[in-house]
Structure 1
Amino acid sequence: MRIFEWFTKSMKDVIDYYEEDVYEPLAEFFEKHEIYNVLVIGLIFTIIYLPCLLISNGTEPWHISEANSTKRHLTQLDLIEYFPTNHKLRSVFNLLNNRIEFPPPTPLAIVLAGSNVAKEELKFKEISTKHFWMENITILANRSISEAKLFSQISEELEKFDGKAFVFIEEIDKLPGRSPLVLQSLSDVDASKYKETVYILTVVDDVIDKSMDEKECTEMITRKLEKAWSASLHIDQINPIISRITGITICL
């Protein structure tokens, strides 16, 4: 009990000392010399923030460190200009814009399908080049590419840019043998090495068009891919791939 009383009295003496002999003289001094207020605030700001600036120099997110680039932030007015009637594409680019500002923990796959895919793919690349600090990588699927070669080709390209890229894989319905399995590996939440990558996958089909709603669009793409891949893969292998890549589908 005596120790507690002694401690309480000691603390009171310390507080009284600072209030009478330190705080009050300082308050009176700064009241008479206002210029020192500015200097002290500036000194405090420098002490607190300068180390943060020095530590973070050169290690900011990629899109911030490119401050001197000619790229311009994508705005809602830009999206209306690019897609005056296609609200789906506007929504997708809003999503992409947010992903780049706030990098997510998982890659993203988008399927573009229809007879006019090439035109919209070109627009994707133009917008990306103008507004996003992401590289454009184009891979043309063909009937001779192997699973290992496709995976190696995409991985090597992504490594150059630390995964910060839009990977356009054209005409995925033409992927032969087991090569469609690569799509699942690359876009898998746990297995993928690069989480910021966006995979733009295209399917060319004259039957698919922009009048289809999202459900019908996804169903048409699913049937197209099942038919194209069933010669080499079992349906139990095909379904997980399609499920992984058709989270966002756009029929054009």
Structure 2
Amino acid sequence: MAGTTADRLKPLILPVAIVVALECAARATHLQSDSLAPPSAIVIAFFESIGDGSLLIATRDTLVSAFAGLAIGAAIGLLFGLALGMSTLFDRSMEVTIESIRPIPSVALLPIALIALGFGYRMEIAIVAFACVWPLLILTRSAVRGVEPRLLEVSRALRLGTVAQVTKIIIPAAMPRIFIAFRLAAGIALIVAVTVEITANPLGLGAAIMTAQQALRPDLMLALLVWIGLVGFGLNAGLMQMQQRLFGRAATVEQGA
């Protein structure tokens, strides 16, 4: 048990050492800056923002947009990925279209989204959804093509219809890799949501960062940045735990691959 506890604490050694070193350096130099703040001031600003409710409201706004966009983008990417993986003809006919649209940065759609949808959740959700489509589409297509051919032969021998073949054979066999794509898309959703808020949308954690920057509050600005990192870390850790519980050893094999 002691060894297990020590192993769990090892990853914290470097971050704690960095924080202590930064605090000592800030105190030794009597840091006064519009862009930097000592860790102690960042912690105080963090709890102040929790106390007045602003951090919780901003977090709620960002997560609503991120999760809604993730759900829409993942559904679209999954459906298209399945279709592309199952039909070589459809894949070839869509190749140029997909490879022309996929490289477009999601934030480059901001002007169009603002004109069509205006400020608010809808615009942000649409851009997040666009960004989340591609990891699901690409990895689902690859996962479907990687399904064991003998499983498909069995489905044909049993004379399963297309829907039954997809739901009973293809999706269960490809699901570990599809879930990895979902994890990647979840991280992208949070990044894009915050980026949109910083760039244009006046809500969420991104807008809160810009407000803190304009108010010359580096302590609050950095507290929000740290909080975004913690939210992303927690989201990924939760999805990894879910992946291990759902797929067990298969999750480790797919991740290693």
Superposition TM-score, scaled by structure 1 size: 0.23
Higher relative contact order (CA 8 A, sep 6+): 2
| Larger helix share, 1 or 2 | 2
